[in-house]
């Protein structure tokens, strides 16, 4: 059993019970920073026995993760190599530089750990739909994990995110919403969207499961080094979730007496978005938000909130630094690592390598120190060739003065509501479907999908879970009654409102058969566009109001 025994507030020390999926907020002082505690005694005994019979993946340490039990082996994330750098290390005159090569995850970044544990918690809680805002890699990782487990995922990304990442998220079947605003605005839109639809929102650094997943990096490093801690741990940082989780792991290992010190922490940020570095260099415990101006969109969290303060405290306690590097320095480091060690890393990861170069140059890291660097991130661009244009829903936030930002966001949210309202037309006659689509699209910016086959239509209904289905009566293979029956028999589709649009006269008897099952019945030849569109809007609003 791995579930935390209790939660302890880092601010006031209050202890309370752990409830999976509930926001972890201290009941006493309302701080969002509470840390879980597990049954360390029995876990330590297992560790000392060498964790017999356990594969080398992150579930190896499941007793200190917030799950009841590890999911099946299919979810075997983590267990990445710790490689000694030879030639890049030589360029720095370092004798013991190790790379934790997180490119070996299912989507090639350390965010795969986060997705694996967060999704395992969702599965244990029987949750089937969720919302996430991400700077890129977390979205890719969650999209893959959700695809594997059948969870419907809504991903909010900024338009700065490289198109390869966006395509990869779409490839895994997630709903992609691209917001032309900052990442902090994108997070806000995602939060309000989740609230309106009553969906679970992944809260990034304050999602306990997400944070805890990262500690497995610390456990693996310590085990791979033969049960000892490095002198330094270096990572590029955006919101700070990574190192916060990793350091919970190092501290647990210290408390269990399995290592004799906690490594010094180096947080590296891109200069164009370095609120943490700025605060750290100014000796402040609180970071001021910035408007990101880096091309490395993956690291563009302008407002790190309390995460900075917790990282700052870690550095006060265990030593370390925060360092900024320019985009150009990151590109150079990227080339250097590729040429010397044959590793192709993405710019966000290269930021950490450039940070190390700086720390060696200014004498902070010395020649014989044991350094581990989180090396992560690599997206393959094959999706480009197999996906069409309809990848994402785009949301534009009009640039407003700060005092009117709220209105801008509100208007964007309303437009988003329309754009994410999906209507599925199941009709074997493409001309009829086209007419219905035109009527609807003239009215609002709905996303309209069409299927010209009843069985394919049912499959699309299950997969897309549209907000409304417009159904033809006469189709070869299975008629409208048959489709309706199938829809009502499936939990995923039983609640979706249906409007019938029939080519033939609908008899009184047939109308009676539909009673209570469909929202309206129309006849094609005399379809009144205005009244029809009005009714569609009304049905959609009513059903959204109910959900």
Ligand X SMILES: Cc1ncc(COP(=O)(O)O)c(C=O)c1O
SS3 of residue 98 by DSSP = strand
For Zn ion, the closer of residues 23 and 477 by Cβ is: 23
Among Zn ion, ligand X, none, what does residue 12 contact (CB within 5–8 Å per kind)?
Answer: Zn ion
DSSP of 182-246, one letter per residue? -HHHHHHHHHHHHHHTT-EE--GGG-HHHHHHTHHHHHHHHHHTTS---SEEEEE-SSSHHHHHH
Task: Assess 15 for contact with Zn ion (CB under 5 A).
Answer: no
Task: Assess 158 for contact with ligand X (CB under 6 A).
Answer: no
Q: Identify the residue among 24, 135, 274, 357 touching ligand X (CB under 6 A).
A: 135
Q: Which stretch binds ligand X (CB under 6 A): 9-17, 221-229, 239-247, 394-402?
A: 239-247
Compute CA distances 190 → 42, 154, 197, 407, whole Å. 40, 9, 11, 16
Q: Which stretch binds Zn ion (CB under 5 A): 24-32, 282-290, 336-344, 535-543?
A: 24-32
Task: Assess 109 for contact with ligand X (CB under 6 A).
Answer: yes
Give the shortest CB-18-to-Zn ion separation in angstroms. 15
Give the shortest CB-236-to-ligand X separation in angstroms. 4
- Dist. CA 19–CA 66, nearest whole Å: 10
Give the shortest CB-112-to-ligand X separation in angstroms. 10
> What is the signed CA dihedral for 56, 85, 271, 362, rounded to 10 degrees?
130
Task: Assess 162 for contact with ligand X (CB under 6 A).
Answer: no
Query: Which residues have C-beta within 8 Å of that of residue 450, sequence separation ≥ 6?
Result: 424, 425, 427, 430, 433, 437
Task: Assess 31 for contact with Zn ion (CB under 5 A).
Answer: yes
Among Zn ion, ligand X, none, what does residue 26 contact (CB within 5–8 Å per kind)?
Answer: Zn ion
Contacts with Zn ion by CB under 5 A: the residue count is 8
Q: What's the distance, CA 57 to chain centroid?
A: 21
Task: Assess 111 for contact with ligand X (CB under 6 A).
Answer: yes
Q: Identify the residue among 94, 237, 270, 372 touching ligand X (CB under 6 A).
A: 237
User: For residues 440-479, b (16+ Cβ closer than 10 Å) or e, as one string?
Assistant: beebbebbbbbbbbbeebbebbeebbbbbbbbbbebeebe
Q: What's the distance, CA 279 to chain centroid?
A: 27
Q: Identify the residue among 7, 26, 145, 416 touching Zn ion (CB under 5 A).
A: 26
Q: Identify the residue among 9, 343, 425, 475 touching Zn ion (CB under 5 A).
A: 9
> What is the signed CA dihedral for 95, 299, 107, 54, rounded to 10 degrees?
60
Task: Assess 376 for contact with ligand X (CB under 6 A).
Answer: yes
Q: Identify the residue among 2, 70, 78, 242 touching ligand X (CB under 6 A).
A: 242
Enumerate binding residues for ligand X (CB under 6 A). Answer: 109, 111, 135-138, 236-242, 298-299, 348-349, 376-377
């Amino acid at each position: 059993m791995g579930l935390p025994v209790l939660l302890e507030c880092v601010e006031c020390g209050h202890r309370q019970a752990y409830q999976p999926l509930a926001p972890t907020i201290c009941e006493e002082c309302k701080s969002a920073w509470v840390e879980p505690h597990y049954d360390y005694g029995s876990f330590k005994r297992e560790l000392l026995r060498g964790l017999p019979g356990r594969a080398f993946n992150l579930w190896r340490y499941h007793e200190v993760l917030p799950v009841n039990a590890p999911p099946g082996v299919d979810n075997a994330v983590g267990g990445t190599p710790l490689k000694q750098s030879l030639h890049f290390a030589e360029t720095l005159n370092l004798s013991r530089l190790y790379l934790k090569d997180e490119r070996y995850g299912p989507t090639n970044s350390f965010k795969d750990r986060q997705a694996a544990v967060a999704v395992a918690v969702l599965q244990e809680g029987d949750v089937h739909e969720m919302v996430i805002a991400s700077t890129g890699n977390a979205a890719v990782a969650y999209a893959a994990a959700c695809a594997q487990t059948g969870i419907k995922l809504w991903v909010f990304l900024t338009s700065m995110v490289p198109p390869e990442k966006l395509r990869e998220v779409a490839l895994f079947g997630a709903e992609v919403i691209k917001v032309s605003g900052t990442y902090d605005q994108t997070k806000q839109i995602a939060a309000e969207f989740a609230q309106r639809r009553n969906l679970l929102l992944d809260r990034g650094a304050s999602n306990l499961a997400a944070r805890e997943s990262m500690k497995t990096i610390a456990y693996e490093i310590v085990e791979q080094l033969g049960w000892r801690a490095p002198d330094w741990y270096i990572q590029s940082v955006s919101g700070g979730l990574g190192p916060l989780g990793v350091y919970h792991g190092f501290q647990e290992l210290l408390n269990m007496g399995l290592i004799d010190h906690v490594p010094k922490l180096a947080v590296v940020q891109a200069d164009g978005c370095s609120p943490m570095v700025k605060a750290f260099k100014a000796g402040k415990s609180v970071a001021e938000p910035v408007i990101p101006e880096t091309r490395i969109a993956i690291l563009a969290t302008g407002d790190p909130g309390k995460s900075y303060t917790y990282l700052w405290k870690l550095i006060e306690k265990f030593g370390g630094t925060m360092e900024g590097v320019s985009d150009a320095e990151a590109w150079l480091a990227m080339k250097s690592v590729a040429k010397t060690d044959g590793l192709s890393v993405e710019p966000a990861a290269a930021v950490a390598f450039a940070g190390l170069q700086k720390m060696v140059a200014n004498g902070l890291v010395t020649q014989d120190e044991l350094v581990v660097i989180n090396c992560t991130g690599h997206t393959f661009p094959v999706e480009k060739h197999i996906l069409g244009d309809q990848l994402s829903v785009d949301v534009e936030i009009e640039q407003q003065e700060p005092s009117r930002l709220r209105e801008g966001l509100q208007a964007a949210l309303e437009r988003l509501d329309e754009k994410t309202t999906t209507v599925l037309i199941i009709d074997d006659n493409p001309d009829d479907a086209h007419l219905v689509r035109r009527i609807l699209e003239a009215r609002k910016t709905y996303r309209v999908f069409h299927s010209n086959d009843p069985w394919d239509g049912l499959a699309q209904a299950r997969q897309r879970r549209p907000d409304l289905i417009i159904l033809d009566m006469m189709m070869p293979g299975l008629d409208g009654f048959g489709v309706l029956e199938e829809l009502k028999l499936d939990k995923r589709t039983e609640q979706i409102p249906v409007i019938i649009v029939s080519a033939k006269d609908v008899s009184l008897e047939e109308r009676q058969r539909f009673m209570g099952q469909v929202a309206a019945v129309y006849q094609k030849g005399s379809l009144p566009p205005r009244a029809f569109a009005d009714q569609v809007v009304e049905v959609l609003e009513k059903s959204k109001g109910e959900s």
